[in-house]
Structure 1
Amino acid sequence: MNKDIFARLALQQIPKILTLCDRNPHSPTYGCFDRTFWHYKVVDFPSGMSQEFVWPLALAYHSAIADNPFYHQENLRAWVEAGIIYAARSAHANGSCDDYFPYERAAGAAAFSLLACVESYQLFDLDNYEVLKFFERRANWLADHHESGQLTNHQALIVLCLERVGALLQTDRWDRAKAKRLERVFSWQNEEGWFQEYEGCDPGYHTLTISCLAQVYQSRPDDRLKQVLEKAIELAAQFVHPDGSYGGEYTSRNTYNFFPHGFEVMGREIPVALQINDRFLQGLDRGLGPCYADDRILGHHTWNYLLAWRDFVPERPESLRGRAGRVWLKQAKLLIDRRMTRDEGVQDATLAGDRPTPDVELYLALNKGGVFKLFKNGKLLLSDTQFSVKVLKGKKFKNAVGHLVDDYEVEVREDEILIQGKLGWAKQQQMTPFKAIVLRSVMLSFGRFFPNLIRRILQKMLITGKNKAPFDFIRRLRWNGQQWEIIDELIADSWNGVKAVGIGADQTSIYVVMSRTFQPGQLQPWLDLSDRVQSLSPGDVLRVERRF
């Protein structure tokens, strides 16, 4: 398997990262990576998360891959050091930083950027007392701060930060805090193997948690941590699609995230980890990787890919092979169904005693109205994110969707699956001048003292809060031995105000930083059903039948 794919894709992002950086040593914002702040001047504070970009630059400097134009370029060393110093000087007095609004004191941004700065500081063997004191302040703040919401990847990330800063400063000051955080990570791992991410299982963020925990294990091997990682890695193997893609809209946070480094770290002890990476590499080689070339989220995958290239295990096990059967994660409410069609080739192989790879694979979210991905012969056949209805309410349009996480009525049989419930109103709030003024006023006054309260309110508005829409749906999936039949029904007491109905390949509604990225599977056309709605009377049912 060609490990250079990881490095090449990562190095393609370095010019953009350098564009985001203020590289002028005479500038008051020298080293700032938030271009909207230092260059466009359209925001009034820099995002602390942006300083994470020092790590991809440091790794690019040290990566001796063929045709790497950034290898041992001394300017990168200067810009990385400037970025670390800017992170220190732009932080709050207690070491925290903001991400989306002033005085937010965002744990995720503080942890990601701290880890990046510490790792880069050590890669270049820097010597700066001001920076070391900053690392200490931020580690103290992270050790004592507890954000709202259950985000296991943040907890694992903070454990790794405290481990790295403690080792650098040669202190055990944060050992108790690390132990408590790690215990929380363990308690947030479901018995099915997945880690809690807001409302359930997100295989993408799951790989980030694995990546952080693997690095902690690398520093301090521990039997319990290894057991947690084994369970998590075995679960991750279920979500690598036959074409090498990973995750998607059927997961709790709608991400295509895949962080490969942790699988390389654990690969010598848990061989299936390397099989997972090999299949993902095949997908990248086919051009099936998601695009994360966004000003805010570009850094995460760039440094993780470069670490995976650096720590790549040369000896690889045989390829990961799927087996026919069903994986039903009842608590995650996710179902993976792998089948073989009744064709002569499969029958001959079965009679000969072979275990043929299933040629039809279904990945289904029972908690999201039956959102699914369907693969045939190793290729994506259909991605489906349920009904979407555009409704005119007064003078404004609202969007009712069937893909929000909810407690739907579900029946699962061998050859038939039923999901039914109500559509919910999509979250489509946008920032307005008035809202911006209110948020700034709140955060510049009493809100600065209660950032977690503001965060909880925003989480409910943008992520976890639910409002039912006046539409019912029934989705049936039936297996006839050769193919899946999908029968959908949409029911409304009144069709007045309904202007459009469709089913898309990649619709999502909640706010998740790493979601709504482009992935080639999203090129599937929208199934527009709007013309059929015009002829419906009150009480009529819109019925759609498809076979694949």
Structure 2
Amino acid sequence: MNKDLFAQIALDQIPKILTLQDRNPHSPHYGCFDRNYWQYKIIDFPSGMSQEFVWPLALVYAHQLPNNQYYQQESIRIWVEAGILFAARSAHKDGSCDDYFPFERAGGAAAFSLLACVESYTLLGLQNEEALRFFELRADWLAHHHESGRLTNHQALIVLCLEKVSRLLKTSKWDQAKAERLNRVFEWQNPEGWFQEYEGCDPGYHTLTISCLARIYELNPTDQLQTALKKAVALAAEFVHPDGSYGGEYTSRNTYNFFPHGFELVGKWWPEALNINDRILAGLANGLGSCYADDHIVGHHTWNYLLAWQDYVPARPPQKPRPQGRFWLPEARVLIDRRGDTELYLALNKGGVFKFFRQGQLVASDTHLSLQVKAGGKVKNAVGHLVGDYPSTLQEDQITVQGALGWAKQKQMTPLNLMILRVVMLTVGRFFPNLIRSLLQKMLITGKNSTDFQFKRNFSWHGEHWVVTDELQSPSWQNVLSMGMGGDQTSIYVVMSRTFQVGQLQPWQDLTQHVRSLGAGESFKLERKL
């Protein structure tokens, strides 16, 4: 398998990252990577997360990658240091930073950017007292900050940050905080192997948590950490699709994330982990990776791919055949069914959203029924893919899930909403940022408001194929404007979701004519053979 593919995909992002940075030494924003702030001037504060982009630059400066025109270029080194200093100078007095709104004090943005700055500083052998003071200040803040929501990847990331800064500054003052955070990671790992991400299991963010924990293990190996990693890696192996793609809308956070570095590190002492990256590399070679080249998230995968290239293990074990049978996660409520030349990835916690493969190729990606409904003078979207507690039955050749469609979360910012948020954050909100964050999470991410539309989705196995039958009942069809079914619909706000992947080229299925023919009391029915 060609490890250079990791490097090439990452290198392709470097011109974009450099375009995002203000590289003018005489600019008051010198070193800032938030182009919307310093160039377009369409926001009134810089996103602290953007300063994470120093790390990909430091890695391409330091490593002689194939076709790497940035290697040992002094300008790159200078721009990395400028990025670190902008992170320091744009931070709040307590060391925190904002991401989406002023005085947010975002834990994720603070941790990602701190890790990137510390790693870059160390890799390039920089000497800067201002940067060192900033690292300590931000680490102090992270050690005591507790954000709303259960995001295990953030907890693992903060432990890694504190460990790296501790070693750089030769201090042990965060030892207790590191231990507490790591224990929280262990507590939030489900016995099935997955790590909690808001409302359940997201295999994409799961690989980021593995990446952080694998680095922590290299620095401080323990039996407990090794056990947690082996369970997590074994789970991740089940979610690699037969074509080498990964993740999708059947996961709790709808991401196509895949962070390969952790599997190379674990593979040093548990070679089975390397099979995962070998399958992913095959998918990347066929163009099946997801695109993360937008202004806000381009950095995450870039540095992780570069690290995977750097720590690639040359001796690879042979690929094992895919196991036949069923892999059922009753607590995550996710089912993987492999029989014959078919593989079904099914989310019962999302109403039966699924991906289906035959002979190693994607046949169908299904994010359930979606209706546009006129309600209360507005057009609203009723969907079947929100996380919920749906009654289901699971038999060998038949699977049924049913429940109510939910109203999609489609809240958008308006000038008035933005003005209100700014006023709140510039007054009382700046003292209670976690409360504001929690309210926004409930509004945009978690929870479900049910509709009167009742669905039933049935999967039945007939010899060599699945038959999917959908039924939908409604007291009235009068206010339904349109109905359809697509392969990539999501309805919650997750920054790393809604990226493009070629499997999304599957056409939208318009079912509106079926609905218009229904009378009062009649049910919609659709049967499909996969």
Specify the TM-score bucket, using the shorter chain as the normaliser: over 0.9
Give the secondary-structure state (helix, strand or coil) at the position aligned to 2:477: coil
1:171 aligned onto 2:153: no
Q: Deviation per CA, 1:448-498, whole angstroms, max 9, x where unpaired? A: 000000011000000113111110100000001210000001111100111
Structure 1 residues 320 and 98, CA, compared in 2 at 3 Å: closer, same or farther? Answer: farther
1:543 aligned onto 2:500: no
Give the secondary-structure state (helix, strand or coil) at the position aligned to 1:464: coil
Instruction: Identify which of 471, 496, 514 aligns with 2:478.
Output: 496
1:478 maps to 460
1:52 maps to 52
1:267 aligned onto 2:267: yes
Contact 2:372 2:379 in 1 (8 A): yes
| C-alpha distance in 1 between matches for 2:490 and 2:65 | 38
Give the secondary-structure state (helix, strand or coil) at the position aligned to 2:318: coil
1:26 maps to 26
| C-alpha distance in 2 between matches for 1:261 and 1:482 | 38
How far off is 1:127 after superposition?
A: 0.5
1:531 maps to 513
- RMSD of aligned alpha carbons: 0.6
| C-alpha distance in 2 between matches for 1:62 and 1:467 | 51
1:2 aligned onto 2:22: no
1:419 maps to 401
2:288 maps to 288
Instruction: Identify which of 466, 488, 491 aligns with 2:448.
Output: 466
Give the secondary-structure state (helix, strand or coil) at the position aligned to 1:296: coil
The amino acid that maps onto 1:33 is F
| C-alpha distance in 2 between matches for 1:482 and 1:66 | 46
| C-alpha distance in 2 between matches for 1:521 and 1:271 | 30
Contact 2:3 2:309 in 1 (8 A): yes
2:100 maps to 100
Structure 1 residues 448 and 393, CA, compared in 2 at 3 Å: closer, same or farther? Answer: same
1:396 maps to 378
How far off is 1:539 after superposition?
A: 1.3
Q: Deviation per CA, 1:374-395, whole angstroms, max 9, x where unpaired? A: 0000000000000000112244
How far off is 1:73 after superposition?
A: 1.0
1:440 aligned onto 2:417: no
1:350 maps to none
- The worse-fitting range, judged by mean Cα deviation, of 394-403 and 147-156 is 394-403
2:344 maps to 362
Q: Deviation per CA, 1:3-26, whole angstroms, max 9, x where unpaired? A: 000000000000000000000001
How far off is 1:30 after superposition?
A: 0.3
Give the secondary-structure state (helix, strand or coil) at the position aligned to 2:225: helix
1:353 maps to none
Give the secondary-structure state (helix, strand or coil) at the position aligned to 1:408: coil
| C-alpha distance in 1 between matches for 2:87 and 2:454 | 50
2:69 maps to 69
1:512 aligned onto 2:497: no
1:522 aligned onto 2:504: yes
| C-alpha distance in 2 between matches for 1:178 and 1:204 | 24
2:184 maps to 184
How far off is 1:537 after superposition?
A: 0.7
Query: Identity, % of aligned pairs?
Result: 68
Unaligned runs of 5+ in 2: none
1:301 aligned onto 2:283: no
**TM-score by structure 1 length?**
0.96
Q: What aligned pairs does 1:249-260 form with structure 2 within 5 A after superposition?
A: 249-260=249-260
The amino acid that maps onto 2:415 is P
| C-alpha distance in 1 between matches for 2:28 and 2:73 | 24
Give the secondary-structure state (helix, strand or coil) at the position aligned to 1:212: helix
2:365 maps to 383
| C-alpha distance in 2 between matches for 1:20 and 1:396 | 39
Give the secondary-structure state (helix, strand or coil) at the position aligned to 1:429: coil
1:317 maps to 317
1:347 maps to none
How far off is 1:312 after superposition?
A: 0.3
| C-alpha distance in 1 between matches for 2:322 and 2:66 | 35
1:372 maps to 354
1:196 aligned onto 2:196: yes
Give the secondary-structure state (helix, strand or coil) at the position aligned to 2:483: strand
Give the secondary-structure state (helix, strand or coil) at the position aligned to 1:421: strand
Contact 1:237 1:272 in 2 (8 A): no
Q: Deviation per CA, 1:309-368, whole angstroms, max 9, x where unpaired? A: 00000000011421110011000000000001xxxxxxxxxxxxxxxxxx1000000000
Contact 1:272 1:320 in 2 (8 A): no
| C-alpha distance in 1 between matches for 2:66 and 2:352 | 46
How far off is 1:272 after superposition?
A: 1.7
Contact 1:279 1:320 in 2 (8 A): no
The amino acid that maps onto 1:6 is F
**TM-score by structure 2 length?**
0.99
How far off is 1:538 after superposition?
A: 1.3
The amino acid that maps onto 2:405 is L
Q: Deviation per CA, 1:80-128, whole angstroms, max 9, x where unpaired? A: 0000000000000010000000000000000000000000001110011
Contact 2:62 2:124 in 1 (8 A): no
Give the secondary-structure state (helix, strand or coil) at the position aligned to 1:194: coil
Q: Deviation per CA, 1:247-303, whole angstroms, max 9, x where unpaired? A: 100000000000000000110211121000000000000000000001000000000
How far off is 1:67 after superposition?
A: 1.4
Contact 1:276 1:320 in 2 (8 A): no
| C-alpha distance in 1 between matches for 2:289 and 2:459 | 28
Give the secondary-structure state (helix, strand or coil) at the position aligned to 2:445: helix
1:277 maps to 277
How far off is 1:169 after superposition?
A: 0.2
1:344 maps to none
